[in-house]
Amino acid sequence: MKICFLMYPWERISPESDTTLRMIHEAASRGHTVALTTPNSLTVRDSEAHAFCNVLKRDTKLSSNIPSFYRKAEFKRCKLPLAGFDVIIMRANPPLDTVALNFLDSVRNDVFIMNDIDGLRVANNKLYPASFSGDACRFVPATHVSKNREYLEQVLKDSPTEKMIMKPLNGFGGQGVIVIEKNARQNFRSLLDFYIGSGDASNYVILQEYVTGADQGDVRILMLNGEPIGAMRRVPAGDDVRSNIHAGGKEVKHHLTKEEKELCRAIGPQLVRDGLYFVGLDVINGKLIEVNVLSPGGITRINRLNRVKLQCKVINFIENVVSAKEMVLERKSAFRKVIDDAETV
């Protein structure tokens, strides 16, 4: 199998904790061809989408120690046609590079892309949970999104609770997440001015229901093909409201509650329908706060807490998808041959 990881630069990887590196190592360990590229390395030649790739050399000795593998990995630089890959795994960090998706549009019928291009387009920001319907709605906290300062001020004033969460629509990694209290409303307009900005460069702001227990951290659930495969609790550092690991939070072992399992069952089918096969859910007290679809992390920490190797499940899934596609093509080819033979009789 030939796999291309469309990702952040290799030199920015944190080898001790990086999820993408675990997937790369697992794929290479199984003998698959592994190529790495970045959105800035995509190009077109003769109307065909290509990428300047770093291809992992096959004669590289693969250490079972992943940080050691990272340090010793050797690559060959090549310009390769994207349509020649069996799989393209999207692992680029937010924000979404929409131009990169335009490059991939031309090969989507030839290559299995995880996650799906259209799925990324609809789910790459914090508005996606608002698209859930039916039973899934009860797991989504009340959310308000706007650039209108007066409207947001009224939302805070009318809130039935004394606190709300405010964050930028396109933020990630816990950046810009703050708690707003009603008794500090005199500062709210100034905060909105800062978050929204002005003119054509203005930004959308989210005001979200404050979920009880947020000060105790959140739960990161990794979903594969609509099913949970692992989870951990992330505890904030000190007095910080954010539990993101990159914001100083720490991880602890977690077993999914009955309510969290119900949440996964409720939203799993829509994730699959949208082609969002590998995602990270951020959950607080049974409420879905965010769906991370671009490069969800957590594999390394969940592995360590539970003595598992979740990257094996991810690569197993990809192998099964590619194998199924190849079987369909072979079956189609065989049937076409029967029809061709019938014409010559």
Domains of the chain: 2-114 (3.40.50.20), 142-209 (3.30.1490.20), 214-308 (3.30.470.20)
Cβ 256 vs Cβ 264: under 8 Å:
yes
Find the helix packing angle between 19-29 and 299-306, rounded to 10°: 80
Q: Once rounded to an integer, what is the mean pLDDT over residues 195-222? A: 90
Average pLDDT score over residue span 220-233: 98
DSSP output for 122-142 = HHSSTTGGGG--GGGGGGS--
Residue 240 pLDDT > 70, yes or no?
no
- 36-76 pLDDT, tens digit per residue, is 999 999 999 899 999 999 999 987 778 999 999 999 999 99
Residue 248 binned pLDDT confidence (cut-offs 50, 70, 90): low
pLDDT digits (tens, 9 = 90+) for 75-109: 999 999 999 999 999 999 888 899 999 999 999 99
pLDDT of amino acid 247: 52
Q: Encode pLDDT of 152-179 as tens digits.
A: 999 999 999 899 999 998 777 778 889 9
pLDDT tens digit sequence for 111-159: 999 999 999 999 988 889 988 989 999 999 999 999 999 999 999 999 9
Query: Does residue 316 register a pLDDT over 90?
Result: yes
Kind of pairing, strands 112-114 and 143-146?
Answer: unpaired
Task: Kindly give the residue spans of alpha helices, DSSP state H, lying in 84-239.
Answer: 98-105, 117-123, 149-158, 188-196
Whether the pLDDT of residue 207 is over 60: the answer is: yes
Residues 6+ apart with CB under 8 A from 171: 126, 177
Q: What is the mean pLDDT of the chain?
A: 92
The answer to whether 163 and 179 have CB atoms below 8 angstroms apart is yes
Q: How distant is the alpha carbon of residue 206 from its chain centre?
A: 20
